[in-house]
Amino acid sequence: MQTTKDQTLETMVKHYLICALWTSYDDNGENCPPPLDDNYSLEDISAETYFNAKNDCIKFLKDAENSCPKELLEEFYTYDNELMGHNFFLNRNRHGSGFWDEKGYSKELGNYLSDICHKMGEVNFYVGDDKKIYSA
């Protein structure tokens, strides 16, 4: 079964948000707050946050594709969509892992994609008063 660009994007966004829940903490006043994914799931992501995440993924893909060195473009097109979303979130938030250390892909592509992530800046996820997950 062949995937469409929409399916590719949706897979990337889903795994970007899964990674965000996994690496973000519920600042609920505890000394050692739990990761958001202990108590929240994708269904708890606010519509606004989903929209922002999707737009960030679109921007990242466009920036990467439009400026990708020719010698890396074919490898970029074969990048796993789940890993793309996961590594995008890790890299942009400087979690110490991401594109630059992904096995199975060239170090050149990893460094190139990491640089794009860093230019986009960090994003933080938090629990709103309505118990929905937001980003800032």
Measure the CA–CA gap between 50 and 57, rounded to whole angstroms.
11
Measure the CA–CA gap between 15 and 60, rounded to whole angstroms.
14
Question: Cβ of 37: how many Cβ atoms within 10 Å?
Answer: 17
Q: How confident is the model over 112-116, as a mean pLDDT?
A: 96
CB crowding 94-123: b at 16 or more within 10 Å, else e? eeeebbbebeebeeebbebbbebbeeeeeb
Instruction: Specify the pTM.
Output: 0.92
pLDDT tens per residue, range 29-67 = 677 889 999 999 999 999 999 999 999 999 999 999 999
Question: Cβ of 41: how many Cβ atoms within 10 Å?
Answer: 12
Q: Give helix 107-120 / helix 70-77 axis angle, nearest 10°.
A: 80
- Judged against a pLDDT cut of 70, whether residue 5 lies above it is answered with no
